[in-house]
Structures are given as structure tokens and as C-alpha cells.
A and B are shown apart, each in its own frame.
Chain A
Amino acid sequence: MNYARTLAIFACVTAVLLGGIAPVRAASATQAVQDNDQTLRAMRDEMARSKTRLELKIPGTQQPVRPYYVEYRLLDLDVREIVAEFGTLLTTTRGRNRFMNVEARVGNYKLDSSNFIGDEGFRGFIGSQGSVGIDRDYDSLRQDLWIATDQAFKQAVETYSRKQSYLSSLARQSNIDDFSKAQPIQQIEPLATPDWGNRNWEQEARSASATLRLFPDIYESRVTYYLVYATEYLLTSEGTEIRTNRTYAGVEAGLNTLASDGMPLNHLYASYAPKPADLPNVDAVRKGLNVSASELMALRAAKTAEDYTGPVLFEARAAAPMLAQVFGPAMNGSRPPLAFQPIVEQMLSGLGGKSDWAGRLGSRVLPATVSLVDDPGAKDFHGTPLLGGYAVDDEGVRAQKVTVVDKGNLKELLMSRRPGPDSADSNGHGRSGFLGDAKPTMSNLFFNASETLPPAELKKKFLDACRAEKLDYCIIVREMDNPAISLLHQEDFSELLASFGGGAGTGDRLPLLIYKVYPQDGREEIIRGARIIGLNTRALRNLAGVGNDNFVYNYMQSANAGFAGTALGAFASAQGGLPASVVAPSLLFEELEVRGARGEPKRLPLLPAPPLSAAK
């Protein structure tokens, strides 16, 4: 069993299949199109009934209870997944699925049935979320929406009463609203048919993965092509009606081996595109895989890392993913949910559900030279496409450019429609994976600095600092790991969990390529088994230098919608991620702690590997 994926399923809770996806086009066709879409018709009709006629009479009360907000979301999916290793096909799957999610809220915008993790029991097998027919026919969808709405509404009524009774036991109640109002949007894009590109994906997966046969010391590898077409629907009782087509594609590979002392080592390759046709061709993928595999072989021969404290230089390629990990949870400005049991609240903060920055608006959080901007509208960075953009978020709010940090001061946090201590209104950052709860999530994040150095000067500054500290060597980080992709049959969850921390917890960061640099002669030496610790938002305040070499990091960010919309981790794979981009330069830290290799390595296989011929 692929433990990494298994655990990912655990974490995702329901976010198994797909994240919010880059828009095909940001169309503004607001008129109702005449394409006889039965899905839309069924959703509208059932919504009309739910809005006007759904009510529950509670014994002993005068007024019947009604939902003040009903939301229908539907995801129409066509997914292809092709997995290959060493030139052979492992699996090939094509699936057509449709899923719906119904949300009903009882109460009012100020205090409603949401934001509460209660202790309510199981409510039968027909839930408010589930598969619906792929025929796109009217009758069956209405039937499903009917039952789902009924369940969602009853559940909301029950949760609301439990929440009220819990709140009455508290000495002081939060004055933050439960839900912000938003301007209804109508945006119906024309229906699109999937375009898989006229490429033979199975053959491409075979021939791309065959290049790894040149590296018989790789124990296992998986090269995955993941292609998605989706139509997303969002209807709310407030009047929002959205139909968008979204698509993306990715090639991802995980490779693993053991060092001669038994230390497990892994590496990865990932490339994403807005459309299947834009994916790199076989030669490009082979080239990328060759680089990753060669680096993995270098790691295999590397010395093990030792504990280190001193200057650390993150080259841009590593700085961007590192910032994604550190800032992701910090920029979330929404309130965490109330929990019936205090233990759940503890879990939330342990898993990154609580932001370091929430409640600190106006205060200095980064060096005065640094600004942080999240711009869902950005399409590219000096010609390099950015993956994280969208026009309307998953709650139907128009995307806005947000200056999170201006000259070191915290200006504004990313907001969904769940208000927070600093702001009540959404700024169009409510994103969700696979119909999960929307949470404030970055899109295209830009790390800007007013004082920068060319890379060569930054490196010189770094080596000077190293000499000044009279250290034998200092540390350069060239690439960060993404365990959601790179880990294959790892039985130890710890690496993956470290990446889950998201930042709020330990600040553990997993580098993939990390080097010792000797200041006397500039000699570099790759090392393995290192982990950077304590790298959280506070550590970023003592940046000693910033490069002028911006790197565009396109990736899949964790869309885990577990725990009522809180962050679980930074990274995901194409299977369960939200496309995002971070643009960042090289960063020099005055002092960071690097922890050396730990634990008892495993024994190597008892028999030598069977032969693997390079030709294929």
C-alpha cells in the first residue's frame, strides 16, 4: 500500500480527488445561456423549493426554523490517471464522476450553525454530500438534492441548538460574526468538452519513466500523469449562480532508494500545466527525471548531516517552497471554529489551524524592506506562467489582490467568508479542495524586497558571515522536499507529518538538496538526512540578505479541508491539491538550526537488485 497516499487520504478527509482548479478562461458571460443544462435547471428548481418551503416546526416554539442560507455545489469530473515505472504501465484509470455538496445554515450572519465542531451523532446513510448521477439528467439530480438539502438542514438545526447551548456555558462569547455577506454573482460559462490533446498519454508515461532504467540503484519509482477536466457549479440562496470550466494537468514522479548505511532517500519531479496539451513533452520529462535521479544518486553517496547552527543561504528555488510552508497558515485571517471539546482546539493549533499573524494587524512581522502580495489575478511573472490564479473563489467571491505585508508591517490577511478578528469581509481567497469547506488560501504569492543583492554578492555576504563566525562550514539549501509526491513506500509517517505541520507547530522543514560550503575555498559538499528546525514566521524576521533572483515555484498546495477548513499542510500532489504559485528570491538567514541525521537506519536488502537493462 502506498502509505503516503493513504495518509493523504486520511488528512484530506473528503478532499480526495481534486482541488479548486485554474480557470480555463476568466469568462464574464453573465447572461443565462440557452444550452438546456439540466444540471443547472435541477439545482435552480430545488433551490427555489428549499428557499421558500423548507421549514421545521420545533415543539414548544412559535416560529418555524428556516435556513437563512443554502448553498449547492456540484463538481462534474472527468479524470485520467496513468502511472508508470521503469517503462512499464502500472495502472491506467479513467473515471467520470459527479459529486454534490449541500450546505444549509440556520440562524443569521452574526450567529449561525457553522464554525462549531459539535458532538452530534451519525445521521443515517444519506448525507448532505455524495455522488450524483453522471447522466446530467434532471430527475435524479433533483431527487439527490432534495435528500441532501433535507439532511443538511436538519443537521444545521441540530448543530445550531447544540452550539447555542454550548455558548451559553461560556463566560464570554466571541464578537466575531459567523458568516460575512457577499455580493451575489451570476456567471455562467459555456459548457466545454474535454480536450485531452492528441497525445498518447500511456505511451508517454511509459517512455518518460523508462529513462530511470539508467539508474538501477533507484529502488522504486512512480511516474504519474494526472489530467483533469471539471465543471463546477455553485448556487446559493443569496442569488449567486456560477458555472465554470476548470482544467489542469500534471506530471509527478517520486523516486526512492536506500543509502549504503540504510538511510531511506527520496527525490521528486513535478511539472504542472493549465491544460493537458501544455504538459512538457516526453523529452523534457525525461530530462527532468534524469536530473532528479542523478541528484538522488549524489545524495546516496553523500555524507550524513550533523547538527549545525549558523548562517544558512536558501537559494531561490528552495526559498519559494519554504515560504509557501511558512506563510500559508500565517496568512489565514479567519477565526478558527469553536469546538465542543477543548482537545479539538488543541488539535487545530497543532495542525496549523491557527494563524501566527491573526489579531496582529499593523504590527511588524517581517523585516522593514519586505512586502508580501497575494494576487489571484496575476497571469505570469516576466513571462513565466503562474498557476495559482482564478477570477472568482470557491465561495463565489471575486478574487482580490491583497497586500498582506507592506514594508514589514502586517496590512491585511487572506479572508474567506468566515470572518476573523481583524476583518469581517472576504477578499476572495476562500478556496477549497473537492467540495470541502473553503478556507483562506494563497493563490499567487509575491515576496518583494526593496533592498536586494545580485546572487553572487549575496553568496559573498554569506561566506563572509561564515568566516566571521569562525565556522568550518556553512549551509546552502538548493531544493525543498514535497513528501506528498516524493515518498513512495515509506513506512514511517514522520516525514509526511513534518510537512503537515504547516508551520504553526514545530517549524520543521525538509530540505531535499542541502550543501556544506567551506568558506576557505568555497568547496561544496552535498549532505543528507538534514532537517531545518524552528523555521517559522519569527525566524524570517532576522533575514540578513535578499537576492534579486526571483524564482517562480508552481506547485500543488494542500487543500485539506479537514477540521472545519483549517490548514493541514503546505504541499499536496495533483490528486488532491490546489494550484498555487510563489515568487521569491534567494534568502540569507543570519542564523538557523539544522538538525543532523537521526534514527536507526534500516538494513539493506539481503539480496542484490536483479538486473535492470537500460534499454527500453
Chain B
Amino acid sequence: MSARSRLLSLAILLAVSALCTTAALGSRAATPKRGGSITIARIEDSQSFDKTNVFQNESIWLAEQIMEPIYTVTPDGKSVKPWLATSYKASNGGKTYTFKLRPGVKFSNGKAMTSADVKFSIDDARKQSKGWGYLDAAIKNITAPNPSTVVFNLKYKWAPFLADIALFANGIIPNNFNGEPRATFYKHPIGTGPFMWDKRVVGQSVTFKRNPFYWQKGKPYLDSVAWKFVTDENTRELQLRGGQIQVDEFPPFNSISKLQHTQGVTMTLFPSTRTDYLDMNEQYPPLADRHVRRAISYAIDRNAIVKSVLFGHGKPANSFLPPQVPFYYPNSGGLQYDIAKAKAEMAKSKFPNGFKATMLVGAGQQVESAIYRVVGALLAPGQEELGNEATQAYRPFDVIDRLAFPVGDGPELLEIRPLAIFDDAHTLHPTQFRNLTRWLIKRELRVSRWVLTRFDILPPDEALGALLSSNENRNRWLEVSVRTGNYDLDNTHKIGERQAQNGGPGTSVPIDDDQEVLRREIWLETDKQYKSAAEWLIKIKTGREVKVETAEGRAPDFTHEQPHTYIGPENSFTLERKPWEEKVRAYTKAFRDSPAVINSIVTFSALAQNSYHITSENTQLQFGQIRYRLELFIQGKAPDGMDLNRYYNFDWVKPSDAPDDKAVYAAEATMRKELEGLVAAPINEPSVGPALLTGRAAAVFFHEVFGHRAEGHRQKDVAEGQTFAKKVGEQILPPFLSIVDDTTMRRLGPTDLLGYYEYDDEGVRAHRVVLVDHGVLKDFEMSRSPLVGFDHSNGHGRRQLGAAPVSRQGNLIVESSKTMTDPELRAKLIDLIKQQGKQFGLLIDDIAGGFTFTGRGQPQAFQVLPLVVYKVYADGRPDELVRGVDIVGTPLAALTKIVATGDKQDVFNGYCGAESGSVPVSAASPAILTSELEVQKKESSTDRPPILPAPAHDIVKAGGQL
């Protein structure tokens, strides 16, 4: 009997009984020959060899090789036979058993076994209150009238007595532990069995050698047996094939048929008593209901589980007892799969409309414990405190795209991915990122779950934040991507929620060109990535057999693309630091004139990037970019504590296009005025009504609401909402709107576009992609992960360094054929307000960014975070600046409510964060007028404004008393 099942209690319902436990042997058995050694690989190390206390099979099976009982179980498990005793006699109405011991039995130390040893062994086993002692409860006392006779007196008649005495716990050891302390003895036990103790390396292996005094002459055949502890099933298989081990004790079910057909391997299946079952908590009212439990049993398709999990090596259970135990009744039938009956039972129950229950699966705990192991020494809180990642909504600042951590001891990584995409860089200045990081770090102390996320939110490449700090960096980063399998199925294939992680984000390599050292780095990184890829492919092939796949998921994993060669010029810049430091200093100072500004940060950065890309498909590329950026950022606080900020950025490529002081000061003046206005502005109440979004605001709106949903890989992933997956050819926008994503565009009007590039991160040439043509959905942004019907990349495979590329937006350009001038749009807005009988509509002038949920685990909602919002009144009152507004909505509804657009496009340049990291993007759109937009209150800090006035605006100049 499995030791484990004794520990489980109560309310056991139904089960799949695996018919077979398995073992694969490295070579074909023939007539046994004396001599030789074997090594057996197994999945767990032994815990202890104290047979009286240990409940772990991996320990028991080994202990039995050394310590034998006086009677033993027959091979079919249904009876007992004499072993160290030759016979017994029952007397005194079944309350006395007298055993004759087998003559000539010796311990492995050469001493003869006598009745004193038997009495001592079983008396010791009986005493073990935390072990198997309870099985010997019927024994009153044991006597040893002569060396070859042992008498057991029982307290009462006890039918299972012989079976109990045959238990491994009642194995025979030398009297008085051979003169050693109990604990010491069990570190290297002595017995009469075929093997004797040799050595043990905890965590690695246990070795037994032949007992020269064994009572069965000529046996055992082997000189020694070693049990090696190898957790990973693939490693065991490889070692078996490579001859490093001779037996794999427990190959995975999916490899059984393969091993049966592997040359030189004997695959043996034998009847096992293993039963898998659900353990139900009857304290929970629904599960206390018999009908509910019956319904669950009827609803489980055991045949399907046998097929897909056990690969046919098992059979449906009809009762808790497996067929191998006595009194098993094969015809009981049990409650087998029958949906109609399940429904009928539910109808009869007290919960005809269903109920919610949480099922604890082993792997879940493993996951949690894995986190704590990685974090190291942190104590895991209770399961209930941890919450459930999959259903917990992430709040706006939780910029996390995935958590990955090892499961068990193997190399497998389990990934948890929240389903929010957060457009970080639109909203967050690098300094905010830094503060956010610090905040998350602090939070980890209490919510350890966050620990692994911080690396995802480190600021994007900060090149030079002048004045605040002055840094210069040069470095090079190597990424190696290895795919194994073939274009149809490779190691990146996603099975359900699970997808391979690449073997790490890459490595830093020398900036000096030294071929040998570079090759060395490439060699190691390739080896690492290859191993990771090979390992994942095996898992994926296995996983595929047990998971349902959608039609979308059946698309191949990698597109075929034409190889090409392009060696562009190397990019570099020479930058005069001093003038820029002076400028930044002056720009920051200008903000300080306003008492509303409590913090101001101006950042200038310059980045020259060169990419070298080479593939086994013969693509060879060298290309790169230069980017300059000036960011202006100010923070203030409203009297009620609400944090307010304004942000503006200039991006340019040619040094001559740098904004002049006049432009910068003009932008600053606007920002300052807006911040001062916002500090004094009233809070807007949630409302629904017509709204006008200016060009930049509309651009972000389209980026969030439409752009993310047109990213190709989201059409494929079962976890994604797939809003547009099946809508190609359908009208999704008003017919006057078209949308392209054109990454070949360097500029739009006078503005450099941040989403421009020559080649994407998978080495595919940039494309212009028409996504929506006159309102009809035509295409998606495609990476090299194909979709059914879209079998080529259109150059949108993008990523931040260290992440795996997925399809991402580049330059999302909204074009309109129904345009109006600004005054006309405004007039139309007033019309709409009147038509709807409202007092006012909203004019949204600037948007910080937004985020959207594209996953299925969340509502298909988006939230856009406006910075500057005015109420426009129908009665002609002047516009009123308000604060604390967030736009919320759902994509399909929002897109169809657009009624007209402006006549000129505005550009929003920013960085977009999603699962492949932060990438530069542009969005351009004319202003849009929508008939209905919902706004809600913004999340707000309740910190009060600073107690003392700003030093520069304090009437007491030198500090001290007023």
C-alpha cells in the first residue's frame, strides 16, 4: 500500500486509478548471472532508513533490501508466506502465535539471527508512536523461549496479524541495535537481507553491496546496487540511454511507448495500487451535499484522463480500492462519466445554480514555495494570504508583464502573467520609475510576491539626466536566440498559459573588438540558449498532448522569411556635454519661478545604438539609430493631496532639429500654467457624454484601444481576449477612418517619428501595414509568429533588450476622410451636448498615457489617463479646467462612437511597455469627436501638501523663526 494514502483523510471521492507504475530497464534481462552492479535512477532521495518511522516509499523500498520480516507478502500482494520463519502455529483461540525461525539465517555482520533479535526488533517497532507502531497494537507481549522459537501473545483475536507482521516496519535487526545508539544504527542499518549497507551521499546516492552471509545460497546475483537521485525526467532518460544508469524507476507516462520501442531498453509495467483522488472538504456546505459530490463524480471523464494524462496506462477507478487489493469488487461500476446524470444530481442538490470552490492542486503550492526559495529565507505566508494571481486586478502602476520561477527542482520555469499592458513611459518619467522601484522594493517586505518583478520596471535606457546626475556609458549586449524543432513546432510554442522562457536575457560583451573573446561569449551563450530550447521542446511536445489547442494555436511557430544582407553605416555621435548641461540647468531653473511646482526634472539624453544581427538562415544585418530626447517634467499637489504632473518631450534625430530655447520655454510656460490651473481646479465627477479629444490625446486613445488589439500574437494566444481575431474583413470603425502602422516613416510633417526603424528585432524589413481600410479590419501587426492566414512577418517583431520579440506597434497613423476644422468640431461638440440634453461635454487636451487589458482573465477594458481636461458648456460659459479624470471604456463600443475628426494629425512620441519590454513608438491622429465617453475619478494620493512653503517662496529667507 502506498504510504502516502494513509496520511490522507476523509471525504475521498473519486479517482482515476493508474493501473501501472512503471520502470524502464537499461538492458534486456536474460538468465541471471552472478556479479556486476547496477545503478537505479529515481525521483526522490531517501529520507531515512529507520523502517519503523519512515513513510516514504523511496526509503522503504531500500530498507526492505536490508531488513527482512519473518513472514512476507506474496508477489501478488494477496497473501503471506514464510520468510525468516519457516512456519507458525496459532493457539489459545487465535490469541497466541508461535513461530519457528529459519535455521542458518545470519546478519550481514556474520552473526546468527536468534529469537532474541526478533523479539527486540518487533518490540522496538511497537514502541514507535509516531511511526508504524500502531499496526502492532494487538500484540500484548513477545517471548523467546528458545533461540529458534518466538511466541506472540495477542490482546485479542486479530485476523490481519500475519499481514501486519509481514510489514517492512517489523523487519528484523540485531538485538539491542548491535550495541549502537538507535539513531546511529539506522544511519547504516544491519539486517539479514540480500544486500548490506555500503555508503550514502545525502542528496545524491545510496549504495548497497552484496550480503555474503545471505541465507538464500547463491543470491543475490549482483555485487552492488546504487540508487541515484535524479529529479529531472529527461536527464534520467538520457542517462538510461547513455548507460550511466541501468534502471529508471519512474519514467513519465508519456515516454512509456517510446521506451517500449527503444533499442536496448526494457520497459516493464507492473500492477500498482496507485489511486489518484480528490480530497473534499465537507465543512464547506456545497461539498457536504451528497448530490454535489455525486455530480462531480459524474462530471469527470476518467477515460479522457487515462488517455491524456496516463497515456492509456491506467483505468478508471470504480471505488477507492484499487484492483490489486483483496476484496476488490470489479463490478461496482462507480459513478462514471455521465453529464446528464451530473446535471440531474446538481438539480437535486441545494445548489442547483452552482457554487464556487477553490481546488488546491499540488503544483500551486510548489509555485509559491519556489518563489520563497528564490527569494531566500523569506517565510511563506499562508496560502490564503497570497491571493490568486490570475484573478487579481493589477492597478495602474503595477508594471509587470510576467513572473517566472522554477517549479520543483527541475529546470522548468512556470510563468504567471498578469493580463495588463501598461504603457509605462507615456506616464512615467525615469525619476518616477526610480521612485516606483524603490516603492516596490519596500513593498516586498510585506508582499513577497513582488520580489521578482522589479527588474521589469527598471527605467528604460537612461543615458544622461544632466544636473541630477551625469553619466556616460558604453556597453554592448549579446542576445542569442535558438530555436529547436522546426518551423511548425518549436521551443517557443505556447501551450495554454505556458510558454518557454528563453534561457536568460543575454549577456554583456566586450566593447573592444576582440574576435576570440567575443566568440567565447557567443559560444557560452549559444550553449545556454540551446540547452534551454532543447529542454523546452521536450516539454512542449509533452504538454501538447494533454492540452486542448484552439484553431488559432495550431498556426506554425515561425514564419519562413527571405534572408537578406544589409550592412549600414555605424552610428555614433559626438556630443558637446557642456552646452547641454547649461541648457538643462536653465530649463529647470525656469520652472522654479512657480510656487505650484514642487519638483521639476529636465532630462536630456542621447543614444546611439548599433545592432548586428546574424542568423542561421543567412540573414546578415548591421543597422542602427541615433536618438536625442529632451524631457520636461513637473510635479505639484492640489490642496486635497492629489498628485498632479505635467510632462512634455521633444524627440529628434538630426542635431540641427534640436528644439531651440524659445520652443522649450514656450512648452514650459504652457506646462506651468496648466499645472497652476490644475492645482486650483475642481474635481470632475464621473460622467458620460460627448467628448472631443485633441490630436495627441486621440493618438494615445487609438494606441491603447485599437493598436494593442491588432498585435498579431494576441490573436493566437488562448489567454488573450482576441477582440479582433475573427473580425478580418468586418467593419470595426466608422467608414471614414483608416489606420496604418508604417514603421518605414521617418517623419510626419516636421516631427521625427520614434517608431521608425529599418529592420525589426527579428531581422525583418520594416513595412507599411494597412490595418484598417475605411473602417474594415484588414491586417495585423505581425512578428515572425504566424497566424492562420497570415503566414509572414510584416516587420513588427520588437522587443527591449533581453526580452523575446513579439508583434508590437511602431508608427500607428490614423487617417480620416471626414474632417472638420477646429471651430467646426467644437460647434459639433456643442450640438451633441445639446442633443443629449447634457450641461457640458469634455475637451481632452493631453493624455499621459494609458493601459489596457487584452487578456481574457480581465474585462476587455481600457483606461486612458488624461492630464488636461476642460468642461465645455453648452450655454456658452467659458471652458473650465478640471482634474482627477480617467477615461474608461471597452474597445468595440468606444471605436464605433466616433462621429467626426479634425483636419490635421498630431504626433505622440513615447515608449510603450508590454510583454517584450519597452519599445519606442509613435501614434498620430487627428482630433476625434466621440458621441459618448465615460470618465471616472482618478486614483489619488491623500497626502497633504507640504507644511512649509517652498524655500524660494518663503518670506523668511534664511530659515529659522518667523
Contacts and interface: CB of A to CB of B under 8 A. Distances in A.
A456 interface: no
A461 B225 CA distance: 40
Given A85-B517, A134-B468, A91 B508 contact: yes
B590 interface: no
A472 to B, nearest CB: 13
B381 A493 contact: no
A49 B948 contact: yes
Contact of B435 (A130, A142, A307, A605): A130
B643 A153 contact: no
Contact of B947 (A2, A55, A95, A598): A55
Interface of A: 1-2, 6, 10, 13-14, 44-50, 52-56, 84-98, 117, 119, 122-127, 129-135, 139-140, 142-143, 146-147, 150-151, 153-154, 206, 219-220, 306-307, 341, 343-344, 346-347, 350-351, 489, 491, 493, 497, 500-501, 505, 563, 595-600, 603, 605-607, 609-613
B470 interface: yes
B510 A90 contact: yes
Most chain A CB inside 10 Å of its own CB: which residue of B441, B443, B451, B802 = B441
A48 B473 CA distance: 39
B475 A124 contact: no
A605 B526 CA distance: 9
Contacts of B599: 126, 143, 147
B532 to A, nearest CB: 10
A150 B445 contact: no
Contacts of B455: 1, 6
B131 interface: no
A142 B951 contact: yes
B946 A493 contact: no
Given A45-B958, A53-B948, A92 B435 contact: no
14 contacts: A49-B956, A50-B948, A52-B960, A53-B962, A87-B514, A94-B471, A95-B470, A98-B469, A125-B439, A126-B598, A127-B435, A134-B470, A220-B524, A306-B201
B472 to A, nearest CB: 6
A51 B469 CA distance: 29
A88 B473 contact: no
B747 interface: no
Contacts of A150: 946-948
> 3 closest pairs, A vs B, by CB?
A48-B959, A88-B510, A88-B512
A46 B202 CA distance: 62
Interface in B486-535: 504-512, 514, 516-517, 519-521, 523-524, 527, 530-531
A343 B201 contact: no
A45 B439 contact: no
B643 A125 contact: yes
A240 B452 CA distance: 40
A49 B468 contact: no
Given A91-B511, A93-B473, A135-B585, A56 B441 contact: no
B961 interface: yes
A607 B469 contact: no
Nearest to A613: B516
B232 to A, nearest CB: 7
B288 interface: no
B635 A139 contact: no
A143 B952 contact: yes
Contacts of B959: 44-49
B377 A350 contact: yes
A1 B635 contact: no
A89 B512 contact: yes
A344 B445 contact: yes
Contacts of A600: 229-232, 235
Contact of A90 (B475, B944, B961): B475
Interface string B869-907: 000000000000000000000000000000000000000
Given A10-B375, A610-B519, 7 more contacts: A14-B438, A53-B961, A54-B947, A88-B514, A142-B951, A150-B947, A501-B377
A448 B434 CA distance: 46
Contact of A610 (B436, B516, B585, B952): B516
B232 A307 contact: no
B662 interface: no
Contact of A123 (B519, B941, B958): B941
Contacts of B506: 1
B387 interface: no
Nearest to A563: B445
Contact of B951 (A46, A493, A505): A46
Contact of A131 (B469, B802, B944): B469
B640 interface: no
B567 interface: no
Contacts of B469: 95-98, 131, 134
A56 B512 CA distance: 58
Contact of B467 (A92, A134, A151, A610): A134
B377 to A, nearest CB: 4
A346 B379 contact: yes
A450 to B, nearest CB: 37
A132 B468 contact: yes
A95 B471 contact: yes
Contacts of B202: 307, 595, 598
A347 B372 CA distance: 11
A131 to B, nearest CB: 5
A612 B516 contact: yes
A143 B592 contact: yes
Contacts of A206: 512
Contacts of A123: 941, 943
Nearest to A489: B507
Given A126-B598, A147-B946, A347 B378 contact: yes
A493 B377 CA distance: 12
A611 B201 contact: no
Contact of A341 (B446, B473, B523, B941): B446
Nearest to B378: A347
Contacts of A341: 446
B203 interface: yes
B374 interface: yes
A605 B521 CA distance: 12
B473 A146 contact: no
Contacts of B958: 45, 48
A179 to B, nearest CB: 22
B848 to A, nearest CB: 13
Contact of A143 (B443, B471, B950): B950
B6 interface: no
A86 B467 contact: no
B588 interface: yes
B479 to A, nearest CB: 11
A91 B204 contact: no
A502 to B, nearest CB: 10
A606 B527 contact: yes
A90 B508 contact: yes
Most chain A CB inside 10 Å of its own CB: which residue of B589, B946, B961 = B946
B9 to A, nearest CB: 28
Contacts of A6: 455
A500 B379 contact: no
Contacts of A505: 377
Interface string B152-163: 000000000000
Interface string B423-451: 00000000110111011011101100001
A599 B944 CA distance: 55
Contacts of A47: 959
A151 B374 CA distance: 33
A342 B946 CA distance: 34
B356 interface: no
Most chain B CB inside 10 Å of its own CB: which residue of A143, A219, A612 = A143
B801 to A, nearest CB: 11
B474 interface: yes
Contact of B530 (A87, A606, A610, A613): A606
A332 B588 CA distance: 45
Given A48-B960, A96-B471, A598-B204, A13 B441 contact: yes
